[in-house]
Structure 1
């Protein structure tokens, strides 16, 4: 069995066990299906675990041969497809918000977003800073560089400190938050265009200026298409829903084939992948759930932890293999390495729960 197949098998088993464990630990409320698109919550859970598997493999190639990457399209796409779908979900949910909210309090919106994103991120950054300074102690000569390093991290930049690759402590995941914030910042402009009226709220115009700064100088345009490609899911909602009711078996076969093709045959972030994912996402968001799999309560609980798991799993991988040296590399023993995955996922989930429960949620509820 090759690396991709064995990684897929182990990660699928790990995700299933995690979902069933969470289903047992957290009782499902009676009105659980009366909320927003439940399949998106389940999808988030699967995608977050896929990202863990993706970085778990990248850590292996990095420590074995010094390369942060993979030769397998499937392993690369565990990360690329997951990130793309997170962007599509974000775009879709914010387009919905714009369409259904003629009057927006932009100051309140950005405060709410900051309270959701920053508390856990700052806590994670504190751990990254502590680990970095353990390896590269601060002194009078490098203090200015440390301030620059801290400033860049708070702006979600993948940077190191004095040659130490600090961003790999969390597997470099913070780069995606740049694009999330750029989309948040451009929303007032989209809102004004859609509703055909100008807002005079200072927060809106400040946000548009920030969006201009990020889009032109601090990001790559190709990723923004993934947010834009969420629009077909809105525009073609009724025809897709009708097709799901009339041709359920055909849609099911189509989605299984499309899923396999996207993961194994498309190049990460290529136009082919983006367009196919737009189709795939449009079908899912309008109710398709892979025979109700995405509505599984345990997967939805994983989805609730997805942001925390996304931010913290890299630290578990880094500490386990980089600091505590729990595996001997340079032996080409991938199967031996793979047996560490259940432990990594379990510890990462516990850490994600603690971070979500005691760091992120108290700020969200304020």
Structure 2
């Protein structure tokens, strides 16, 4: 196992570097100027770690037919701590928008429209692939009552808001994307809670907006059966936004010694905790994020053009990697054959799968995500000029 976790992790990371460089020559994308380039650079690595997390789970699922969290701390944190980072980032960026909008009127309708344009198109594309796969595996014939199918399809279309519903009776439908959609209802709940949060920043919000948005957030959480513990990283992100906006640390956290501190903190979290969802690991995640958001680029890694281009395709990587793994083991290799793979063979296949993952993710970013993002910006400018 030492060979797998050590040598093969390096081989997979090397495969990632080569894949990103090659794909950027074939499918060219531009780096967008953003206020926090280090955060953009961080995102891609987070999504890739989730891919490694689910690869590990697939390894043992093939042998035991049970989908369990990894029993190795590192691979468990690849999934749980990275998701905590994603939640912290979301809360940080949107709380900053509130802080920077204290003297402005927020167009809440335009805000939600922008979220729809940003999240729905790529998500619907990924779910469309899943529907096609399930249709093929069930011979495009109805296997369950029509009403059950409609409920499952609607749930999947709306970010799998109702967990555990199988499409057309296909058992464990969540395997088709490794169950990654569980985070999206939490993201949407936070988006809808933002007007309520705005009140704490003394921003005037129409009471109808507060009621409607809070009702939407509550409905999402009830239908989803959401756990309040998953909102802890969002609190970390809000605190991070308050600290960064007040420039409490100035340029201090940019120093290299704080890069080493961040690495040490993450190492301690991985070593001492088997889960990234516990309060102390979440606090550590938030502290490390504050260091990064303060402009610490980890010796230039996070602010590099390589990392930022990689970071731009995060959402596509996140949504597509689970489906790629399913296609790989179900159709290309075959479940029975995959059960017999040695560790060497399995992780070699994972290393080889990095290129198609990056290639297709960059394609979908360029032709699905980016055009809709630009359309959302254009509509936002149009509505602002009319106002």
On whether the aligned pair clears a TM of 0.5, the verdict is yes
Q: Residues 315 and 204 from structure 1, CA distance in 2 versus in 1: closer, same or farther, beyond 3 angstroms?
A: same
1:116 aligns with 2:115: no
Counterpart among 219, 229, 234 of residue 241 in structure 2: 234
Partners of 1:55 and 1:252 in 2: how far apart?
28
For residues 1-366 of structure 1, what are the structure 2 equivalents within 5 Å? 1-21=2-22, 26=28, 35-69=34-68, 70-101=70-101, 102-136=104-138, 137-139=140-142, 142-157=145-160, 158=163, 159-161=165-167, 162-200=169-207, 204-218=210-224, 219-237=226-244, 238-244=247-253, 248-266=255-273, 267-325=275-333, 328-331=337-340, 333-366=342-375
What secondary structure sits across from 1:198 in the alignment?
A: coil
Deviates more, 1:126-135 or 1:275-284: 126-135
Per-residue CA distance 1:36-92 (angstroms, 9 max, x = gap): 111111100111111111111111111121122321011111111111101110110
What secondary structure sits across from 2:285 in the alignment?
A: helix
Partners of 2:264 and 2:299 in 1: how far apart?
15
Q: What is the CA-CA distance between 1:316 and the residue it aligns to?
A: 1.1
What secondary structure sits across from 2:248 in the alignment?
A: helix
Q: What is the CA-CA distance between 1:184 and the residue it aligns to?
A: 0.5
Gaps of at least 5 residues in structure 2 are 376-387
Per-residue CA distance 1:249-268 (angstroms, 9 max, x = gap): 43232122112222333223
What secondary structure sits across from 2:296 in the alignment?
A: coil
Q: What is the CA-CA distance between 1:354 and the residue it aligns to?
A: 2.1
What secondary structure sits across from 2:297 in the alignment?
A: coil
Q: Residues 353 and 253 from structure 1, CA distance in 2 versus in 1: closer, same or farther, beyond 3 angstroms?
A: closer
What secondary structure sits across from 1:229 in the alignment?
A: helix
Partners of 1:186 and 1:28 in 2: how far apart?
33
Q: TM-score, normalised by structure 1?
A: 0.91
Give the conservation status (yes or no) of the 8 Å contact 1:10–1:338: no
Partners of 1:286 and 1:18 in 2: how far apart?
30
Per-residue CA distance 1:82-129 (angstroms, 9 max, x = gap): 111011101100000111123111111111110111111111111111
What secondary structure sits across from 1:156 in the alignment?
A: coil
Give the conservation status (yes or no) of the 8 Å contact 2:121–2:369: yes
Q: Residues 259 and 21 from structure 1, CA distance in 2 versus in 1: closer, same or farther, beyond 3 angstroms?
A: farther
Q: Residues 80 and 132 from structure 1, CA distance in 2 versus in 1: closer, same or farther, beyond 3 angstroms?
A: same
Per-residue CA distance 1:217-238 (angstroms, 9 max, x = gap): 5211111111111133233333
Partners of 1:176 and 1:56 in 2: how far apart?
18
Give the conservation status (yes or no) of the 8 Å contact 1:81–1:263: no
Q: TM-score, normalised by structure 2?
A: 0.86
Q: Residues 252 and 141 from structure 1, CA distance in 2 versus in 1: closer, same or farther, beyond 3 angstroms?
A: closer
What secondary structure sits across from 1:67 in the alignment?
A: coil
Deviates more, 1:154-163 or 1:339-348: 154-163
Give the conservation status (yes or no) of the 8 Å contact 2:30–2:309: no
Partners of 2:60 and 2:348 in 1: how far apart?
16
Q: Residues 342 and 35 from structure 1, CA distance in 2 versus in 1: closer, same or farther, beyond 3 angstroms?
A: same
